[in-house]
Amino acid sequence: IYQYCAINKSIRAKYVLEYRNKIPEKILQANNETFKQSLTQNDYNFFFGKHLDNHTHSVFFLENWHKGFQTVIYRDKKSGNLIGGTHANYNLNEIPPMAYPKWTFREYFISAYYPNGREPFINKSSILSDADKSKLKSLTDDDNPILILFKLRAF
Protein backbone atom coordinates (compact mmCIF):
# COMPACT_ATOMS: atom_id res chain seq x y z
CA ILE A 1 0.00 0.00 0.00
CA TYR A 2 1.57 3.24 -1.19
CA GLN A 3 1.41 6.98 -0.76
CA TYR A 4 2.33 9.13 -3.78
CA CYS A 5 3.71 12.62 -3.16
CA ALA A 6 3.21 14.78 -6.24
CA ILE A 7 5.28 17.64 -4.78
CA ASN A 8 8.57 15.77 -4.80
CA LYS A 9 7.42 13.13 -7.32
CA SER A 10 8.07 10.20 -5.06
CA ILE A 11 6.25 7.12 -3.96
CA ARG A 12 6.76 5.32 -0.68
CA ALA A 13 5.39 2.17 0.81
CA LYS A 14 2.99 2.76 3.69
CA TYR A 15 2.55 -0.96 4.34
CA VAL A 16 4.43 -3.88 2.86
CA LEU A 17 2.97 -7.36 3.00
CA GLU A 18 5.77 -9.90 3.06
CA TYR A 19 4.87 -13.48 2.20
CA ARG A 20 8.30 -15.08 1.81
CA ASN A 21 8.04 -17.29 4.90
CA LYS A 22 4.34 -17.32 5.74
CA ILE A 23 1.39 -14.98 5.90
CA PRO A 24 1.59 -12.89 9.11
CA GLU A 25 -0.95 -13.91 11.76
CA LYS A 26 -2.43 -10.39 11.98
CA ILE A 27 -3.24 -10.54 8.25
CA LEU A 28 -4.98 -13.89 8.64
CA GLN A 29 -7.11 -12.49 11.46
CA ALA A 30 -8.20 -9.42 9.52
CA ASN A 31 -11.06 -9.65 7.07
CA ASN A 32 -11.76 -7.93 3.77
CA GLU A 33 -13.95 -5.30 5.47
CA THR A 34 -11.02 -4.26 7.68
CA PHE A 35 -8.85 -3.88 4.58
CA LYS A 36 -11.51 -1.93 2.66
CA GLN A 37 -12.19 0.32 5.65
CA SER A 38 -8.51 1.15 5.99
CA LEU A 39 -8.29 2.00 2.28
CA THR A 40 -11.43 4.13 2.13
CA GLN A 41 -10.71 6.10 5.31
CA ASN A 42 -7.08 6.90 4.52
CA ASP A 43 -5.38 8.40 1.50
CA TYR A 44 -3.66 5.15 0.54
CA ASN A 45 -2.84 3.91 -2.93
CA PHE A 46 -2.50 0.21 -3.58
CA PHE A 47 -1.22 -1.83 -6.46
CA PHE A 48 -3.05 -4.82 -7.92
CA GLY A 49 -0.21 -5.60 -10.32
CA LYS A 50 -1.57 -3.68 -13.31
CA HIS A 51 1.37 -2.19 -15.19
CA LEU A 52 2.79 -1.77 -18.68
CA ASP A 53 6.38 -1.72 -19.91
CA ASN A 54 8.01 -0.62 -23.11
CA HIS A 55 11.73 -0.40 -23.91
CA THR A 56 12.32 2.84 -22.00
CA HIS A 57 9.50 3.37 -19.51
CA SER A 58 7.05 1.63 -17.20
CA VAL A 59 3.59 2.74 -16.16
CA PHE A 60 1.96 1.61 -12.92
CA PHE A 61 -1.73 1.92 -12.12
CA LEU A 62 -2.43 2.52 -8.43
CA GLU A 63 -5.93 2.41 -6.95
CA ASN A 64 -7.10 4.93 -4.34
CA TRP A 65 -10.47 4.11 -2.80
CA HIS A 66 -10.30 7.13 -0.45
CA LYS A 67 -10.39 9.58 -3.36
CA GLY A 68 -12.22 7.20 -5.67
CA PHE A 69 -9.92 7.20 -8.64
CA GLN A 70 -6.86 5.66 -10.19
CA THR A 71 -3.39 7.16 -10.05
CA VAL A 72 -1.00 6.58 -12.93
CA ILE A 73 2.74 6.73 -12.35
CA TYR A 74 5.24 6.69 -15.22
CA ARG A 75 8.81 5.56 -14.48
CA ASP A 76 11.85 6.28 -16.63
CA LYS A 77 13.81 3.01 -16.62
CA LYS A 78 17.17 4.72 -17.16
CA SER A 79 16.96 7.46 -14.51
CA GLY A 80 14.47 5.82 -12.15
CA ASN A 81 12.51 9.11 -12.01
CA LEU A 82 8.74 9.09 -11.56
CA ILE A 83 6.05 11.39 -12.94
CA GLY A 84 2.31 11.13 -12.83
CA GLY A 85 -0.55 11.37 -10.44
CA THR A 86 -4.25 11.74 -10.76
CA HIS A 87 -4.37 14.46 -13.42
CA ALA A 88 -2.91 14.48 -16.92
CA ASN A 89 0.01 16.82 -17.29
CA TYR A 90 -0.40 17.93 -20.89
CA ASN A 91 -1.97 20.78 -22.81
CA LEU A 92 -5.54 19.86 -23.81
CA ASN A 93 -5.33 22.46 -26.58
CA GLU A 94 -2.62 20.38 -28.27
CA ILE A 95 -3.63 16.76 -27.77
CA PRO A 96 -6.96 15.10 -27.03
CA PRO A 97 -8.15 13.92 -23.65
CA MET A 98 -7.26 10.28 -23.94
CA ALA A 99 -7.66 7.21 -21.80
CA TYR A 100 -4.77 5.80 -19.82
CA PRO A 101 -2.55 3.55 -21.93
CA LYS A 102 -3.85 0.02 -22.40
CA TRP A 103 -1.12 -1.59 -24.51
CA THR A 104 2.49 -1.19 -25.63
CA PHE A 105 4.34 -1.69 -28.90
CA ARG A 106 8.13 -1.30 -28.95
CA GLU A 107 8.81 2.14 -27.43
CA TYR A 108 5.16 3.25 -27.67
CA PHE A 109 2.31 3.25 -25.22
CA ILE A 110 -1.07 2.87 -26.89
CA SER A 111 -4.17 4.65 -25.68
CA ALA A 112 -7.60 5.43 -27.10
CA TYR A 113 -9.38 8.67 -27.85
CA TYR A 114 -13.17 8.59 -28.01
CA PRO A 115 -14.08 11.27 -30.56
CA ASN A 116 -16.95 13.69 -30.36
CA GLY A 117 -15.83 16.48 -32.72
CA ARG A 118 -16.20 19.17 -30.05
CA GLU A 119 -12.81 19.10 -28.31
CA PRO A 120 -10.84 22.41 -28.25
CA PHE A 121 -7.64 20.75 -29.49
CA ILE A 122 -9.23 20.11 -32.89
CA ASN A 123 -9.02 23.80 -33.81
CA LYS A 124 -6.09 24.88 -31.64
CA SER A 125 -3.51 22.10 -31.96
CA SER A 126 -0.23 23.00 -33.63
CA ILE A 127 0.61 19.28 -33.86
CA LEU A 128 -2.27 18.31 -36.16
CA SER A 129 -2.38 19.12 -39.86
CA ASP A 130 -5.38 20.97 -41.30
CA ALA A 131 -6.42 17.76 -43.06
CA ASP A 132 -6.37 15.83 -39.78
CA LYS A 133 -8.33 18.59 -38.02
CA SER A 134 -10.97 18.41 -40.75
CA LYS A 135 -11.26 14.63 -40.35
CA LEU A 136 -11.58 14.88 -36.57
CA LYS A 137 -14.34 17.50 -36.80
CA SER A 138 -16.49 15.07 -38.77
CA LEU A 139 -16.32 12.33 -36.11
CA THR A 140 -19.21 11.75 -33.73
CA ASP A 141 -19.89 9.86 -30.51
CA ASP A 142 -20.95 6.87 -32.64
CA ASP A 143 -17.55 6.47 -34.30
CA ASN A 144 -14.99 3.94 -33.15
CA PRO A 145 -12.22 5.12 -30.84
CA ILE A 146 -8.96 6.31 -32.36
CA LEU A 147 -5.80 4.57 -31.22
CA ILE A 148 -3.08 6.94 -30.08
CA LEU A 149 0.52 5.78 -30.03
CA PHE A 150 2.81 7.91 -27.90
CA LYS A 151 6.27 7.67 -26.44
CA LEU A 152 7.77 9.47 -23.50
CA ARG A 153 10.95 11.51 -23.45
CA ALA A 154 13.58 10.82 -20.83
CA PHE A 155 12.82 12.53 -17.53
Q: What percent of the chain has pLDDT over 90?
A: 19
Q: What is the pLDDT of residue 84?
A: 82
For the stretch 113-134, pLDDT in tens is 888 767 767 788 888 889 988 8
What does pTM read for this prediction?
0.66
Task: Pick from 7-11, 56-60, 88-92, 122-126 the range whose average pLDDT is largest.
Answer: 56-60
Choice between 34 and 142, residue whose per-residue pLDDT is larger: 142
CB 30 within 8 A of CB 15: no
Per-range mean pLDDT, top range of 76-80, 123-127, 139-143: 76-80
Rg (CA), the chain: 19
> Is pLDDT above 80 for 13?
no
Domain boundaries, the chain: 1-88, 90-155
Handedness of CA 112, 116, 120, 122 (dihedral sign): positive
| Gap between the Cα atoms of 84 and 89, Å rounded | 8
Is the pLDDT at 61 greater than 80? The verdict is: yes
